């Protein structure tokens, strides 16, 4: 009796099977990676140009900039606002006046309290020392 032959497998199907089995990237995969890399390079180029102007002033030996003023830090800004309120300022008001995020402002208040620049009058009320 004649032996029954199974379906013949096409060469394309065999190649696709091996490519999937051994994680071999296709031309489409490589092209999508190249496109993503190009987008990332363009993003880096555009952000790198704007990042150069962040701190251009040169500091002198006393810590002042060449313009004669020290740059205002976030802590300085918050302390200045707290000093404006003689009876104390609460957290929501301070949050609205500074425009900082909640986490950032909490960290600033903690740091100012640790350095004894402000006092905690009550829960959420701060006075300059």
17 falls within a domain: yes
Provide the greatest CA pair distance for the chain. 107
pLDDT in tens, 26-39: 899 999 999 999 99
Give yes or no: residues 40 and 82 share one domain. Answer: no
pLDDT in tens, 96-115: 998 889 999 999 999 999 99
Range of the domain at 41: 11-49
32 falls within a domain: yes
114 falls within a domain: yes
Asked whether the predicted pLDDT for residue 83 surpasses 70, the reply is yes
Give yes or no: residues 123 and 79 share one domain. Answer: yes
61 falls within a domain: no
**CATH number of the domain bearing residue 111:** 1.10.10
pLDDT in tens, 57-78: 555 555 555 555 666 888 998 9
pTM: 0.45
The total of structural domains in the chain comes to 2
């Amino acid at each position: 009796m004649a032996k029954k032959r199974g379906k013949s497998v096409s060469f394309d199907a065999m190649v696709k099977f091996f490519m999937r089995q051994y994680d071999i990237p296709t031309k489409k995969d490589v092209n999508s990676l190249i496109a993503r890399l190009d987008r990332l390079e363009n993003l880096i180029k555009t952000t790198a140009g704007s990042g150069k102007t962040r701190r251009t002033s040169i500091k002198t030996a006393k810590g002042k900039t060449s313009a004669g003023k020290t740059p205002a830090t976030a802590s300085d800004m918050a302390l200045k606002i707290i000093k404006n309120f003689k009876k104390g300022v609460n957290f929501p008001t301070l949050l609205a006046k500074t425009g900082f995020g909640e986490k950032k402002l909490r960290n600033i208040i903690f740091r100012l309290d640790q350095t004894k620049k402000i006092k905690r009058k009550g829960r959420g009320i701060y006075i300059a020392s």
